[in-house]
């Protein structure tokens, strides 16, 4: 009887050790954070990455904005910064599998003029020049004017913010749509320039502090193969993006080092007006749809589908 009791005790211990020793499956990520490849346009949204890129420049590649669609098609970058509407448009049309991880840029547009005592109401019945015809930026600009009861007599278009900046500098009577940091750079040459934030008009029209301008996109395969790496890197980007508010000097120094901004004076003045902050994709969904519905064709004809968003549902 004693032997049977001892055997039962031994079996129970063995079973408990087996049960207690059973470990959960450990996911080994295929790609480590230090091996990630990140691509961004060399513009204002890149500021969210600047302190990270300054420390590890070999991981980052900054390109001209016009080539960003090709980066989606290549499917080589693990993470991409891009205009949110461009990423959504390509995804809707089946030309990209990149998921939206976060919104990082919320509008850096301004109406500006050298006119003495320039007010937004001066746009009523006036001629204005926007940049980017048939783009989300021009659509937002026209939307906020209309919603705030401001009706220009004529709208002209130039290719980009650099073009409208030049017009702003050379024509004292011009009223243009420009963007930061171009506006700050122009003011250093012509202090008489006055600018009004499109975001202020957007908030009056929608109640939102800014429109969903640019996002951080993650390669779909990476989400599957390296989920922990994705989460770790997103935490890093959030920390870097937060510095655009909490440590402007650090961001300015990094941006100048990377040649994203021309000098510390312009960088330090412009960064607070560029409206860069981090919001996870799912948390920004309602605001994305508000922006999309202003010019739905820019988003591929419909608001993004649920599977466009990275994150826990």
Domain boundary among 206, 228, 250: 206
Residues 284-288, mean pLDDT to the nearest whole number: 97
CA-based radius of gyration for the chain: 25
pLDDT at residue 14 is higher than 90: no
Burial of 65 by CB count in 10 Å (0-12 exposed, 13-18 middle, 19+ buried)?
middle
Q: Are residues 74 and 157 in the same domain?
A: no
If one counts the domains in the chain, the total is: 2
Furthest C-alpha separation in the chain: 107
- pLDDT for position 98: 98
pLDDT 10s digits, 64-115 = 988 998 999 999 999 999 999 999 999 999 999 999 999 999 999 999 999 9
Q: Are residues 194 and 115 in the same domain?
A: yes
48 belongs to a structural domain: yes
Task: Say what the alpha-carbon torsion angle 204, 289, 45, 180 is, to the nearest 10 degrees.
Answer: -30
The tally of CA atoms less than 13 A away on the side-chain side of residue 39 is 22
- pLDDT for position 65: 86
262 belongs to a structural domain: yes
How many Cβ atoms from other residues are within 10 Å of residue 189's Cβ? Answer: 10
The number of angstroms, rounded, from the C-alpha of 64 to the middle of its chain's C-alpha atoms is 15
Q: Are residues 227 and 297 in the same domain?
A: yes
Q: Are residues 54 and 190 in the same domain?
A: no
Model confidence at 228, pLDDT cuts 50, 70, 90, reads very high
Q: Are residues 200 and 223 in the same domain?
A: no
Q: Which two tokens stand for residue 18?
A: 């087996």
pLDDT at residue 5 is higher than 80: no
% of the chain surpassing 70 pLDDT: 91
Q: Are residues 256 and 121 in the same domain?
A: no
* Mean pLDDT estimate for the chain: 91
217 neighbors 106 (Cβ within 8 angstroms): no
CATH classification at residue 145: 3.40.190.10
The answer to pTM > 0.85 is yes
- pLDDT for position 3: 47
Domain that holds residue 278: 33-106+212-308
274 neighbors 108 (Cβ within 8 angstroms): yes
Q: Are residues 73 and 126 in the same domain?
A: no
Buried b (16+ CB within 10 A) or exposed e, 191-223: eebbbbbbbbbbbebbebebbbbbbbbbbbebb
């Amino acid at each position: 009887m004693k032997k049977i009791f001892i055997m039962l005790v031994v079996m129970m211990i063995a079973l408990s050790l087996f049960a207690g020793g059973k470990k959960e499956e450990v996911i080994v990520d295929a790609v480590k954070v230090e091996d990630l490849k990140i691509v961004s346009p060399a513009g204002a949204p890149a500021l969210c990455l600047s302190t990270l890129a300054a420390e590890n420049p070999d991981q980052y590649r900054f390109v001209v904005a016009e080539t960003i669609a090709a980066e989606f098609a290549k499917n080589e970058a693990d993470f991409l910064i891009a205009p949110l509407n461009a990423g959504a448009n390509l995804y809707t049309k089946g030309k990209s599998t990149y998921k939206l991880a976060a919104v990082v840029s919320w509008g850096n547009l301004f109406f500006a003029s050298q006119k003495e005592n320039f007010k937004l109401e001066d746009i009523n019945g006036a001629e204005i020049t926007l940049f980017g015809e048939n783009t989300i930026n021009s659509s937002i600009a026209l939307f906020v004017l209309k919603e705030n009861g401001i009706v220009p007599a004529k709208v002209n278009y130039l290719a980009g913010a650099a073009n409208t900046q030049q017009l702003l500098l050379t024509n004292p009577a011009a009223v243009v749509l420009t963007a930061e940091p171009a506006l700050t750079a122009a003011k250093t040459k012509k202090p008489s320039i006055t600018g009004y934030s499109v975001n202020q008009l957007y908030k009056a029209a929608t109640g939102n502090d800014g429109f969903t301008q640019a996002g951080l996109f993650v390669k779909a395969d990476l989400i599957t193969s390296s989920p922990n790496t994705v989460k770790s890197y997103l935490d890093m980007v959030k920390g870097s993006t937060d510095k655009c508010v909490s440590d402007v000097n650090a961001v300015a120094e990094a941006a100048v080092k990377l040649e994203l901004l021309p000098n510390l004076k312009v960088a330090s003045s412009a960064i607070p007006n560029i409206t860069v902050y981090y919001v996870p994709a799912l948390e920004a969904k309602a605001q994305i749809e508000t922006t999309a519905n202003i010019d739905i064709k820019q988003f591929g004809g419909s608001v993004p589908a649920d599977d466009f968003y990275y994150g826990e549902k």
